[in-house]
Amino acid sequence: MNKPIHIDSSKLSNNIEKYIKPEVVYIPLENKNGITYKHLVKEGDYIYKGQVIAVNEKINFPIHSSVSGYAVCGSKHIISNGKKIKCVIIENDFKEKYEKKKLVNKEIASYTKDDFIESLRINGITGLGGSDYPTFLKYDSDNIKYLLINAVECEPFICCDKAVIYNYADSILETIDNILEIMKIPKAIIVTKDTNTSSIDSFNKYIGTYPNIQMCLVEDAYPNGWERLVVKNALGIEYNKYPIEKGIVVSNVSTIYAIYEMLKYNRPLTERVITITGPGIKKKTNVKVKIGALASEIIMNLDGYKDIQNPLFIAGGPMMGNSMPTDDVIITKDLNCILVIEDHFEKNLPCIKCGKCIEVCPVDIAPVLIMNNHDNHDNLKNLNPNKCIECGLCSYICPSKIEVREFVRIAKEKVKEE
Ligand code: SF4
Ligand code: SF4
């Protein structure tokens, strides 16, 4: 495995703004991983906040409305992977009306393992670090020895987790402790960067009360927040496919905060904190938003755009994000950053065969060879593009400014389709 590298970037203050009054929300019926949902409501229906409006039938996993209001005719809109997806659209009536049963709460002390896992499922909790993987599937095991909390947030510019920790460290620790108790897990380790002083200080204020929770500090280098490196750095353990093979569950720290709201208030996951930043944004900040709001509406309500040449709108961070043709991108659960930068790169210079993309690739594949063999299916298979974690280091390091990651990503899809 190649060594992670340090990338400089400015981070924002820990203040969290709020924009939770979107005119309309768009709930896509497919996520960025291609998981599809069947809609359960029709045009004209009155929708309560927190109501299940669609479900993935294979794993019985719901999506909820983040507002109350009327469902209107569905159409396609762009999500974080750049694809246009059919949506359930709800016009917000700003009444925040919950269904009556949503007000029922349960004592945390009375939760069993099964109750907890079922609660994660029915409240639609997914990995907020960018995976969008249903959390109940991760915890559905009788043999969890370690709970690792991923608070590394190593991608430049993104700092929503840092803000969540600063504002809610006590609730996060309380929730980790509750999970250990309910799931009978002996130990939790919070993994964060050694340069992240505000998070370290915030946790240190309360962590003494929790003997089974420790902190592990890792170097400020990319991609140290990758699950495999989180596990390796915290425990010195490697695994084949998933951490659970070794009795390990890894949860992003903002996901833990969503679990706090679920346990405390019986709230489904309908809001998240996201970083809105970059030279093209007037008010760079972390902001709490409704899932399903449009990025364009949020940015305009935060003061709008700066006048820059060739603005490039990115859903996600500069390394793993995707450039978008429009700012009308839906905020989905996986989306942790909107970045607006100046597109000043000279593109399409020839490859100089320097091999730097191979040197940095954390999964030890050869991006340049995958690029050069993009139309040779047999060769592609042997080059293992499926191992790519889309970290973007190959594009970042390339002196010819070639979007190498794009070639690998397309190759990955081609190999998967076969
Ligand atoms: S994007 Fe994929 S191919 Fe490129 S460095 Fe990262 S893991 Fe390797
Ligand atoms: S880093 Fe860029 S120029 Fe160097 S081998 Fe890879 S693709 Fe070619």
Predicted pLDDT at 103: 53
**C-beta of residue 415 within 8 angstroms of C-beta of residue 386:** yes
Q: Which atom of ligand 2 is nearest to the CA of 356?
A: 1
Q: What is the pLDDT of residue 136?
A: 97
Q: Is 361 in the pocket of ligand 2 (CB under 6 A)?
A: no
Count of domains for the chain:
3
Q: Is residue 312 part of a domain?
A: yes
Answering whether pTM is above 0.85, one says yes
pLDDT at 119 exceeding the cut of 70: yes
388 alpha carbon – ligand 1 mean position (Å): 5
Name which residue sits closest to atom 6 of ligand 2, judged by CA: 357
Which among 342, 374, 391 is the end of a domain? 342
136 and 201 part of one domain: yes
Asked whether residue 194 falls in the same domain as residue 338, the answer is: no
* pLDDT value for 285: 96
Q: 356 CB less than 6 Å from ligand 2? A: yes
Residue 65 lies in a domain: yes
Do 88 and 138 lie in a common domain? no
pLDDT at residue 131 in the model? 87
Q: Are 59 and 31 in contact (CB under 8 A)?
A: no
Q: Is the C-beta atom of 355 inside 6 A of ligand 2? A: yes
Do 240 and 146 lie in one domain? The reply is yes
Closest residue CA from atom 4 of ligand 2: 354
317 shares a domain with 399: no
Measured CA to CA, the distance from residue 221 to residue 162 in angstroms comes to 16
User: Which atom in ligand 1 lies closest to the alpha carbon of residue 395?
Assistant: 4
Rounded to an integer, what distance in angstroms lies between the CA atom of residue 403 and that of residue 84?
22
Q: In this structure, which residue's CA is closest to atom 2 in ligand 1? A: 388
Do 251 and 206 lie in a common domain?
yes
pLDDT at 399: 92
Residues 196 and 179 in one domain: yes
User: How far is it between the farthest Cα atoms of the chain?
Assistant: 64
Alpha-carbon Rg for the chain, nearest whole angstrom, is 21
Q: Is residue 130 part of a domain?
A: yes
Same domain, 49 and 139: no
Three-state SS at 56: strand
Which pair of tokens denotes residue 280? 């093209």
| Distance separating alpha carbons of residues 172 and 254, to the nearest angstrom | 9
Per-residue pLDDT at 83 exceeds 80 = yes
Per-residue pLDDT at 203: 98
Could you count the other beta carbons within 10 Å of the beta carbon of residue 310? 10
The residue whose CA is least distant from atom 1 of ligand 2 is 398
Out of 402, 403, 408, mutate this one to test ligand 2's pocket (max ligand atoms within 8 Å of CB): namely: 402
Examine residue 398 and state whether it is found in any structural domain, yes or no: yes
Domain containing residue 282: 16-101+268-342
Burial of 43 (0-12, 13-18, 19+ CB in 10 A): exposed
What was the pLDDT predicted at 343? 81
Task: Show which of 265, 290, 324 is a domain's final residue.
Answer: 265
Q: Residue 414 Cα, ligand 2 centroid: separation in angstroms?
A: 22
Asked if 314 and 189 sit in the same domain, the reply is: no
CA of 397 to the centre of ligand 1 (A): 11
- Mean pLDDT, residues 356-365 taken together: 95
Is 366 touching ligand 2 by the criterion CB < 6 Å? no
Tell me if 329 sits within 8 A of 295, measured CB to CB.
yes
Ligand 1 atom closest to the Cα of residue 391 is 6
Quick check: 307 pLDDT over 60? yes
Rounded to whole angstroms, how far apart are CA atoms 27 and 294? 10
The contacts of residue 122 (CB under 8 Å, 6+ apart) are 62, 268
pLDDT in tens, 7-55: 666 678 999 999 999 999 999 999 998 899 999 999 999 999 999 999 9
In this structure, the answer to whether residues 49 and 87 fall within a common structural domain is yes
- Kindly tell me the sign of the dihedral angle through the C-alpha atoms of 88, 94, 100, 102: positive
pLDDT exceeding 70 applies to what percent of the chain?
95
Residues 26, 79 share a domain: yes
- Determine the average pLDDT of the residues in 174-203: 97
How many helices (H) and strands (E) in the chain? 12, 18
Q: For tokens 């093979």, name the residue.
A: 245
Confirm if 90 and 27 have CB atoms less than 8 A apart.
Answer: yes
368 touches ligand 1 (CB under 6 Å): no
Kindly state whether residue 174 falls inside one of the protein's structural domains.
yes
Looking at residue 378, its pLDDT comes to 87
Mean pLDDT computed over 322-336: 95
Is the model's pLDDT at 84 over the cut of 90? yes
Q: What was the pLDDT predicted at 346?
A: 64
Cα–ligand 2 centroid distance for 33 (angstroms): 28
How confident is the model at residue 143, as a pLDDT? Answer: 87
Average pLDDT, the chain: 93
Check residue 212 and give its pLDDT: 98
Query: 365 CB less than 6 Å from ligand 2?
Result: no
Determine the pLDDT at residue 134: 97
- At 1 the pLDDT is 65
In-domain check, residue 153:
yes
In ligand 1, the atom with minimum distance to the C-alpha of 360 is 5
139 token code pair:
């915890």
CATH classification of the domain holding 220? 3.40.50.11540
- Shortest-distance atom of ligand 1 to CA 367: 3
Q: Band of the pLDDT at 308, cuts 50, 70, 90?
A: confident
If you take atom 5 of ligand 1, which residue's CA is the nearest one? 361
Please give the pLDDT value at position 304. 94
pLDDT band at 130 (very low <50, low <70, confident <90, very high): confident
Looking from the CA of residue 352, the nearest atom of ligand 2 is 3
Residue with the bigger pLDDT between 378 and 36: it is: 36
Q: How confident is the model at residue 347 (pLDDT cuts 50, 70, 90)?
A: low
Better pLDDT: 266 or 95: 95
Q: Ligand 1 pocket: which of 388, 398, 406 to mutate (most atoms <8 Å of CB)?
A: 388
Task: Please tell me whether residues 257 and 286 are part of one structural domain.
Answer: no
DSSP states of 138-186 as a string? HH--S---EEEEEE---STT--HHHHHHHHHHHHHHHHHHHHHHHHT--
- pLDDT above 90 coverage of the chain, percent: 84
411 lines ligand 1 (CB under 6 A): no
Backbone angles phi, psi at 390, to 5 degrees: 60, 40
Query: Which residue lies with its CA nearest to atom 2 of ligand 2?
Result: 398
Residue 4: the pLDDT is 73
Give nearest CA residue, ligand 1 atom 7: 388
Average pLDDT over residues 72-84: 91
135: CA distance to ligand 2 center in Å? 37
Indicate the residue among 230, 265, 300 that finishes a domain.
265
What local confidence, expressed as pLDDT, does residue 2 receive? Answer: 66
In a domain, 281, yes or no: yes
24 alpha-carbon distance from chain centroid: 22
Q: CA-to-CA distance for 180 and 111, rounded, in angstroms?
A: 12
Residue 310 has pLDDT above 90, yes or no: no
Flag whether 35 is in a domain: yes
